[in-house]
Amino acid sequence: MKDIQNARRIERACRSIETQEPAPSLATLASAAGLSPAHFQRVFVAAIGVSPKAYGVAHRQRRLREALRTSRRVTDAIYDAGYSANSVAYRDSAVLGMAPGQISKGGANETIHYCVTRSSLGPLLVGITSRGVCAVEVTTLEEARDSLQKRFPRALIEKADPKKMRWVKEVVACVDNPSRSTDLPLDIRGTAFQTRVWRALTTIPRGQTLSYSEVARRIRAPTSTRAVAAACASNTLAVVVPCHRVVGSSGKLTGYKWGLDRKRSLLQREGVSVSTDMQVSQADRAR
């Protein structure tokens, strides 16, 4: 009964954050839920995976992205998204991955270098920005450029120059031998929750697996198993961000963006015994 009550409280709080401008304070949300601010914060983070403030920022960022793609002026889009000042929107741009002005132009003024090369998993798209590797996807040559163009509709998409080829080779080496270590610079772009999940995935040791629920517990969001699965499915950095190391609660292989056969192959290369009774890591089971 208590869990149901908390779920309803959190749902009402999320709707308040999404519909009120400015977003209600922690004290206001806690009072409406009939809880102390500290208790409400713990319950909210456990259910959603981020704090009420971070949830509000992420929601505002999503609205900003949508508004920037249709508004004529950046300033109009910023205020329509619920920001009180331009400076606040630009402060949040670090999480957005690019400044609001760039988003409004669909990635204009940003250059993304790409290369489609062979790998043991099939044709591999590697996308690179000035900040690092932004895309690693198993895709066909015909679909590769379109994939980047959809994410960055007005960015300049160019084939990787020789100076960037070292990164491409390192990505392929990582895909072909996922047990090797890599120190590639990554340009990871996602919501606050997605970023937390993806960072957690990079800490799973090679040769080990975790269930979606275990990943949820690692990021201190134990009730967010489905959201963790959705974040894994949204990963655009195959193998480099190792979502293939996440399995079902029973230990069985579950969905994989690039196909279960590839997931099985990657795990086997890392020395994981893939079977119907495949086990998750002993360390996390003990938690």
Written as one string, the DSSP assignment of 93-108 is: HHHHSS-HHHHHTTST
Per-residue confidence at 144, pLDDT binned at 50, 70, 90?
confident
16: left (phi over 0), alpha (psi -120 to 50) or beta: alpha
Instruction: Note the pLDDT of residue 278.
Output: 44
Amino acid at site 206: R
225 by DSSP, 3-state: which?
Answer: helix
Predicted confidence (pLDDT) at residue 282 exceeds the cutoff of 60: no
Q: How far apart are CA 101 and CA 72, in angstroms?
A: 11
Residues of the chain above pLDDT 90, percent: 14
What does the DSSP 8-state code read for residue 237?
B
Separation between Cα atoms, residue 245 and residue 39, nearest integer Å: 33
Residue 163, SS3 per DSSP: helix
CATH class of 192-285: mainly alpha
Pairing of the two strands 156-159 and 132-138: unpaired
pLDDT digits (tens, 9 = 90+) for 160-184: 766 667 788 888 888 888 767 677 8
Indicate whether 105 pLDDT > 60.
no
Q: Which pLDDT belongs to residue 100?
A: 47
243 is catalytic: yes
Q: Which of 12-26, 185-199, 215-229 has the highest mean pLDDT?
A: 215-229
CATH 1.10.10.10 location in the chain: 192-285
Look at domain 111-176 and name its CATH class: alpha beta
* Domain boundaries for CATH 3.30.160.70 within the chain: 111-176
The active-site residue out of 134, 174, 232, 243 is: 243
Q: Which CATH architecture has domain 2-104?
A: Orthogonal Bundle (1.10)
Beta bridge partners of 138: 124
What's residue 9's pLDDT? 86
CB 235: neighbour CB atoms within 10 A?
24
Predicted local distance difference test score (pLDDT) of residue 92: 56
Cβ neighbours for 66, distance < 8 A, ≥ 6 positions apart: none
Q: Is the pLDDT of residue 30 over 80?
A: yes
Distance of CA 61 to the CA centre of its chain: 14
Query: Model confidence at 286, in pLDDT bands (50, 70, 90)?
Result: very low
The answer to which of 53-62, 212-221, 263-272 has the lowest mean pLDDT is 53-62
Q: Where in the chain is the domain with CATH 1.10.10.60?
A: 2-104
